[in-house]
Chains A and B, each alone.
Chain A
Amino acid sequence: MSNDILRQDAATPIVIVGHVDHGKSTLIGRLLHDTDNLPEGRVAQIIESSRKRGLKVEWSFLLDSLQIERDQGVTVDSTRIPFLLGNRQFVIVDAPGHRQFLRNMITGAADAEAAVLVIDAAEGAQEQTRRHAMLLRLIGIRHVVVLMNKVDLLEYDEHKIAASEQAVAALLKQLDIEPSLFIPASAREGDNIASRSPRMDWYKGPTLTEALALVPSPAGRADLPLRLPVQDVYRFDSKRVVAGRIERGRVSVGDTLVIGTHGTTARVASIESWHTAPQISAVAGQSVAITLEPDVIPDRGDLLHRPDEAPIRTARIRSRLFWLRQEPLRVGESFRLRLATAEHQVTVASIDSVVRLDDLTEHASDHVPPEGFAEITLAASESILFDAFTPGTTDGRGVLVDRHQRIVGGAPLIGPAEIASGTKAIHPTDSTVSLWDRAQARGHRGGVFWMTGLPGAGKSTIARAAESRLFAQKIDVSVLDGDTLRAGLCADLGFSEADRTENVRRAAAVARILAETGQVVLVALISPRAADRELARQVVGEGFHEIFVDADQATCEARDPKGLYQAARAGRISGFTGIDAPYDVPATPDLHLATGAGSVGDVADRLAGYVADSVTLAEATRRRS
């Protein structure tokens, strides 16, 4: 077997981006077709699929491989297609240009070496053009080719096309993106894609395929200072091996390395491998296994580096951000920052600026909208070792993960942040035990059941009765009762609107802490204002249930277990809910308990049943209990 078949350069990933309908899919279809990259029968299949749907040949069907995509004419997820140009391998990444685009595009594009930005020359840059360009800047793509598409609509006219180009160039300049090239082209007609257009003699630059061939191969990271994040530590036979992938630099047997933040040093005793020639050195990109002398035990996430080449070390990091969650990001939210193999608890200490997509200017804001771009400051509970992100490197960029293990943002790190005067420099810590771990151990999830209702409606009575029923079912349950809270935690609060709101906020904060430890919390609190209950829902987050304990005022007043109605009627207390303070009846409670008639036992049974159904795990998944 000749050596050159076994030894080739790695594929260069190229992402194709652009506004919806500016012709991305058509371009990719055309490119694959004109460069002879389509398997036999594929073109016939596309013609047949298009005919069935009464369409002209629809190149996008090449990529829209799912039936729903072809039927609805939308791309729902990114696609990666291997592509050969001469002897060089590429991978073309195509991402949907619409809904949840960012999430899908980042999945495909995050490692791209170059991008082709497709712009309808007649229509010019649109909202998604700006959004995509912004993302190219954030993920650090160095080579951007702008394809001015559909120039047939401008009659291939040099001046009209030049005017359109200038507008795009001005936009990209705002983002510090210097396109390597503008190519006037028509993907549908094949002009300047794989062959030179006979209709634009005035254009002397390369065609798209010529431009792709000029994209440099990914640069080596072997000459940078060594960064080896520990992925895992194995004990095989009597040997302890430290496994990880080298992100930068090279490591050799005999090197002295510093291990993570604790600063212990050790010498590389060997590089272990199976079924390869013995190695004494390894470079960036390789997944290695090393033994250390002395035999120290690093943790996953520890960064190994040389003593004289330490990375940045700080607990406050300035970072860029692209935000993927459907709800906005606000200051004070906490996440896990996953950085290579490390995980750190971080809190968003400030949102420093947010990009306005209409004109790509940065401005102040108290939140980052869904699919938004921003600069933020993250505060960690411990020192973090990292390098600032630079294009062409694989580390120095992290993802934010919420407490349900979902990736909600991408964060290319900029550097350490100063503690500005007047800011609250808080660095909350968080447990490494996940909600799911706790749920599995207990056999049930945590949850907050917020019982609202008039004084005397029976909230505390029912909560206590349900508590004993749930406890008998081995559910870890507790009751937070309004009076108990006011006797202690909230002793400083009165009954003004503001104090009532603060009372609710504290109750909700305590309930959340308990629920996060896996407990079921029944909160019995009048909480008369709908706005306060909404606040409670926000503080608690997922697992919040509003329970309306409903008895009419006459019934409550007749019960008057604490003699409070009597006192209020007599004017001895004021601001009493139902007498001289309003009660907002819940519009859509998660559970409605009428307590006017029927026994306490029946109502408590209903509540306990509802709670148990909400928190109990299915038997099959109770693996570790």
Chain B
Amino acid sequence: MDDLDQLEAQSVYILREAYRKLKPLAMLWSLGKDSNVMLWLARKAFLGRVPFPVMHVDTGKKFPEMYRFRDEYVKKWELELLLGDCPPVEEIDPTLPPAARSAARKTAGLAAMIEKYKLEGVIAGIRRDEQATRAKERVFSPRGSSHKWDVRNQPPEFWDQYATPHEEGVHIRVHPLLSWREIDIWRYIEREGIPLVDLYFSKNGKRYRSLGDQDITSPIESEAATVAEVIAELQTTRTSERAGRAMDHESEDAFERLRVAGYL
């Protein structure tokens, strides 16, 4: 087994654990590259099916290409799609810096969906190498009724034995891609031929490396127009993946505050 086989086997194991242990269960689908890989892995785990709904928490500010992609693949992959919207920015903590405040809308929208569908498990495509605070995450990360991430008091997690809901109001965030790096995601996309929204590929010398809301995501200078070219670019690049995400950089702890409050 090479490293991609091993990452795949581990993610499949995690998804099967989640499906067995957490009911009701749903998978977050942000329409980005990571969540497409995650959906693909679910189809690997369940032999071509996705036996739980996928959830799009819609900020209303995604790129039009992303909405078109969503509608196309819901049909092609026979997905059960749950849609949720987000409260207006005026209802969000005004002490957050502007972009973080905008991003926090998604936290509120997600919380509302978890409440509405009484979800016990939410599968999310975060990775440790994306952002320093995510490096401290668990594969199964319990969240109390306020959905807060209590980083000081995380349960032990080892030997593939994961936390299960232990009291009322607790749901589990499941992170099957935690051990994947950005370049692994792209290598797997190449190996498997996973479809992506074309904003990731260079047009007029620019492409998106990470996709969020239109107003708080910016493209990078790049000539990479195919998956292979993106991989080649990543092998030499020294900038971080989320450099184009405004909310990560407003203040030293902006992203940490978002995450503690329940952001992905």
List residues of chain A with CB under 8 Å of any chain B CB: 1, 5-11, 39-42, 49, 65-68, 70, 76-82, 89, 91, 103-104, 106-107, 110-111, 231-232, 234, 236, 241, 243, 245, 272-276, 283, 285-287, 289, 300, 324, 338, 340, 394, 397-399, 401, 404-407, 410, 436, 439, 617-618, 620-621, 623
Q: Contacts A78-B136, A245-B13, A287-B8 known; list 19 others, CB within 8 Å.
A: A1-B231, A8-B3, A10-B1, A39-B240, A41-B240, A77-B136, A107-B154, A110-B159, A232-B20, A234-B47, A236-B49, A274-B43, A285-B5, A285-B9, A286-B9, A405-B166, A618-B168, A620-B115, A621-B169
Contacts of A104 in B (CB 8 A): 154, 156
Assess the B158–A79 pair: CB atoms within 8 A. Answer: no
Contacts of B163 in A (CB 8 A): 405, 407
Among A1, A338, A398, A406, the one with the most B-chain Cβ atoms within 10 Å of its Cβ is A1
Of B56-64, B84-92, B126-134, B200-208, the segment with at least 4 beta carbons within 8 Å of chain A is B126-134
Assess the B136–A232 pair: CB atoms within 8 A. Answer: no
Partner of B187, one of A5, A80, A275, A398: A5
Beta-carbon contacts under 8 Å, B209-240 to A? 227-228, 231, 235, 238-240
Contacts of A620 in B (CB 8 A): 115, 118, 145, 169
Assess the A89–B3 pair: CB atoms within 8 A. Answer: yes
Whole-angstrom distance from the CB of B245 to the nearest CB of chain A?
A: 14
A-B contact count (CB 8 A): 176
Whole-angstrom distance from the CB of A594 to the nearest CB of chain B?
A: 32
Q: Is B148 an interface residue (CB 8 A)?
A: no
Contacts of B67 in A (CB 8 A): none
Partner of A9, one of B3, B47, B118, B156: B3
Whole-angstrom distance from the CB of A432 to the nearest CB of chain B?
A: 13
Whole-angstrom distance from the CB of A64 to the nearest CB of chain B?
A: 9
Contacts of B159 in A (CB 8 A): 110-111, 394, 397-399, 410
List residues of chain B with CB under 8 Å of any chain A CB: 1-10, 12-13, 16-17, 19-20, 40, 43-49, 115, 118, 128-129, 132-133, 135-136, 138, 145, 151-152, 154-161, 163-169, 179, 181, 187, 190-192, 227-228, 231, 235, 238-240, 252-253, 256
Partner of B1, one of A82, A272, A283, A436: A283
Contacts of A89 in B (CB 8 A): 3
Assess the B191–A621 pair: CB atoms within 8 A. Answer: no
Contacts of A276 in B (CB 8 A): 44
Can you sample 8 A-B contacts with CB below 8 Å? A66-B256, A70-B252, A76-B151, A275-B44, A276-B44, A405-B164, A618-B145, A620-B169
A283 to B132, CA, bound (A): 34
Assess the B47–A274 pair: CB atoms within 8 A. Answer: yes
Assess the B13–A111 pair: CB atoms within 8 A. Answer: no
Assess the B136–A338 pair: CB atoms within 8 A. Answer: no
Whole-angstrom distance from the CB of B34 to the nearest CB of chain A?
A: 16
Contacts of B118 in A (CB 8 A): 620, 623
Smallest CB-CB separation from B118: which chain A residue?
A: A623
A506 to B3, CA, bound (A): 57
A91 to B179, CA, bound (A): 9
Whole-angstrom distance from the CB of A417 to the nearest CB of chain B?
A: 22
